[in-house]
Structure 1
Amino acid sequence: MKAALLVIVVAHGLLHVAGFLKAFHLAPLNQLALPVTKVNGMLWLAAAMLFIAAVLLRYLEHDYWWMAGVVAIVLSQYLILTAWDDAKYGTVANVVILFACVAAFGQWRFSRTYHHDVALARVQNISAQAGVLTERDMLHLPDLVKKYLRYTGAVGKPKVQAFTVAFTGQFRQHETSAWMPFHSEQHNFMSSPTRLFFMQATMKQVPVAGFHRFENGHASMDIRLLSLFRVEYQSGRQMDVSETVTFFNDMCVMAPATLIDGRIRWGKPEGNEVEATFTHGDVTVSAKLYFNDRGELINFISNDRYALRDDGTLQRTPWSTPLKEYREINGYRLGTRAETIYHYADGDFCYGKFNLMHAAYE
């Protein structure tokens, strides 16, 4: 989709050069019947340059590329109207490019809210010095969890106040739904538990964006078509509980060093599993953590998360995130492939597949 858009914009932009060539008699263009003034010739060239600039900015993934695109479209359409008989079909290309610009504008505006929240959370949650995680910090942990922290390389590194992770993967809404490719970025902050997750996906070739916000004990989920049109929104007590589970899962899976947190209460291990609770405000959630003999966390199962049902209601449903393929990322040995699964009475439903691409810690 990205490549096709770039080709369309480049081709459309280069066609505008014909108006410049016609105006200054630089090339025989008999197919253009209408005369072109030198002023308009310069405008045709300016439009071409603006389209090429938009392409370069888009290729470089600059957030503001759509601005150059919109100016180019306005100028182009004005020129097309002045030479309608020769250039009217350029309107089709302008409409296609305008659609892409509108989608990019929506994404820019929607993601700006996310980035603003991240910046504010960082100011509120990051202190100057956190210290180094030592064996002494782990004295209260079950042996299974100690082994996991040693295996992941958390011991001897700075204690984690915040972490940032990026994923690629696939989502789907129902068992029969097509998988939607996505990429995401999220920021988690520990002092006052905060999780800010921004996802961009493609549904039937149409861009979809989602912003999950969890801060001050409250959660919301905002899904938008083209980042403009809200198609789903959830908030309330059940979302608060669900996102508390997700936050605890993030700690266990992506930031093992945070498992020394005093808000976690550990049960007695049974074989290679241990139960734990995490409390934030008036919400306490529990989960069972499963490890293999190497010390890797291989599953996280909680009965406290809610699933969105077909009728739009939220229902408490067992939820798990099996992990595999541990490898080193930024000095930590982490599980890099995971699934998110709801365990319904009539069968399991895997709705998400995640590939961990990046992790950074503060």
Structure 2
Amino acid sequence: MLRNLFLFMLLLHGAIHVLGFVKAFRLGAVAQLSKDISKPMGCLWLLATALFFLVAIFMLLKKEWWWIPGLVGGLLSQILLFSSWGDARFGSIPNAVVLIVALLAGTAWWFEQDYRSDVKTLLLKNEAPSEELLTEKDLEHLPAPVQRYLRYVGVVNKPKVKNVHIVFKGQMREKGKDWFPFRSEQYNGFEQYARLFFMKGKMFGLTVPGYHAYQNGMASMRIKVFGLFPVVNVKGQGLFRAETVTIFNDMCLLAPATLIDSRISWEAIDDTSARATFKTEGLSIQATLYFNAMSQLVNFVSDDRNGVSDLNKYRFSTPISNYKSFHGFNVMSFGETIWHYPDGEFVYGKFELQELMYNVGSKY
């Protein structure tokens, strides 16, 4: 609703600037502007119209850099209004709105560039050799249910996975608070373990971007309203442990081909479950995987993940379902994230998989 009102204001405000062009070139009577306007200035009035229209078009096309012509258009318009202040001063109100919204969008864009820069580095470090295939021999050391799961997913005789690109949409919440919608994008690397997760949530009508970075033996989580006002800034060993469980969870659910990694040790439990120990950067975490009769992974459970708010350990699980084919691989398309608190289970996230691509090139 607010977006549509903003677009309407842009188009109306832009159209009004045509009057300056009409006045300058004497194309018609313009009673609203009493002062004479030179032809060069008239061209600038028309340019302001074009810039505001471009902003509206770029927003409709979901171009995230729409804010650049927005800032230029707002500043140009304000300069023009000063030249006809007595007649056009009220145009400063929409200009102020455009400049504020464009500035906030720009700060969110700059915040996201940290993520984009890290992604380029990750992909350079985790590029995949084109001829390295995963074979049945790579599965021999795995427990039987894990082997069946990898065959079901369809990883055998396909390239080994060195990185993955994932897009989710869904809902999240904190305990005692309402759900908010989000869309996330992430890149994971598996040669040198890394997980770069960028989320855009909507809370009270505001865009709240958040960036989780797990790389180089460190983890951080930053959340900023409009990418400008920080509301969460967490890092340290407790978060690194939590994110280590998270990246292993991603491997199990979304990049099963990586479960052949020698840094994972396995313990068979029974025909439908197995326990894994995942080691990296001197840290060791465990998780138990549960499978159904169709060889689908249906749950991941770990007691080694710290809560972000208090850094205490609670049981963490991710039941998954609705397997679908993504580029020839059968993987889950819906999952939940659950904390098992002393007072009961708390579902804090619902995830719907939108895109999944393995072995993305560094120029992607």
Q: TM-score per shorter chain, which class? A: over 0.9
Letter in 1 for 2:76: L
In structure 1, what is the Cα distance between the partners aligned to 2:349 and 2:28?
56
The alignment covers a number of residue pairs equal to 358
Identity %: 41
How many angstroms apart in 2 are the aligned matches of 1:48 and 1:276? 61
Deviation at 1:100, TM superposition (A): 2.0
Aligned ranges 1:1-362 → 2 under 5 Å: 1-129=2-130, 131-175=132-176, 177-309=177-309, 313-362=310-359
SS in 1 for 2:268: coil
Q: Give the CA deviation at 1:28.
A: 3.1
- After alignment, is 75-84 or 122-131 more displaced? 122-131
Quote the offset at 1:34 in angstroms. Answer: 4.3
Structure 2 spans left out of the alignment, 5+ residues: 360-364
Work out the CA distance in 2 between the residues paired with 1:184 and 1:14. 36
Any idea what the Cα deviations from partners look like across 1:312-339, whole Å, max 9, x if unmatched? Answer: x321111111111111111111111111
1:303-359 Cα offsets, whole Å, 9 max, x none, are 1111133xxx32111111111111111111111111111110012111111110000
Give the CA deviation at 1:194: 0.5
Is contact 2:33-2:84 (8 Å) kept? no
Deviates more, 1:218-227 or 1:64-73: 64-73
Are the counterparts in 2 of residues 130 and 160 from structure 1 also a CA contact under 8 Å?
no
Partner of 2:118, secondary structure, is helix
- For 1:112-161, what per-residue CA distance to the aligned partner results, in whole angstroms no more than 9, with x for missing partners? 11111111122222243461111111001111111111111111211101
**CA–CA distance in structure 2, aligned partners of residues 352 and 4 of structure 1:** 31
**Structure 1 match to 2:362:** none
1:240 aligned partner, one-letter code: F
- What are the superposed Cα offsets for residues 17-57 of structure 1, whole Å, 9 maximum, x if unpaired? 12212232323333444443433322211111111222223
SS of the counterpart of 2:213?
strand
Taking the aligned partners of 1:281 and 1:24, their CA distance within structure 2 comes to 70
Deviations 1:256-290 (A, max 9, x none): 11111111111122342211110002111111111
Q: SS of the residue aligned with 2:175?
A: coil
Say if 1:194 and 1:214, in contact at 8 Å, map to a contact too: yes
SS of 1:104 mapped into structure 2 = helix
CA contact (8 A) 2:128 2:160 kept: no
- Amino acid paired to 1:36: I
**Aligned-residue CA RMSD in angstroms?**
1.6
How far apart are the structure 2 equivalents of 1:36 and 1:174? 60
Residue range with higher mean Cα deviation, 53-62 or 279-288: 53-62
Residues 1:174 and 1:86: Cα distance change in structure 2 (over 3 Å): farther
Q: Deviations over 1:169-212 (max 9, x none)?
A: 1111223x222211111000001100011111111111111111
* Letter paired with 2:348: Y
Give 3-state SS (helix, strand or coil) of 1:42's partner.
helix
Q: Report the Cα distance in structure 1 between the residues aligned to 2:124 and 2:244, rounded to whole angstroms.
A: 22
SS of alignment partner, residue 333 of structure 2: strand
Distance in 2, Cα, partners of 1:125 & 1:324: 29
Which stretch shows the higher mean deviation, 85-94 or 279-288?
85-94
The 8 Å contact of residues 188 and 194 in structure 2, kept in 1 or not, is answered as yes
User: How far has the Cα of 1:60 moved from its partner?
Assistant: 2.8
Does the aligned pair in 2 maintain the 1:144–1:269 contact within 8 Å?
A: no
Q: Do the aligned partners of 1:103 and 1:207 also contact (CA within 8 Å) in 2?
A: no
**TM-score, structure 1 normalization:** 0.94
One-letter amino acid matched to 2:330: R
Shift of 1:58: 2.8
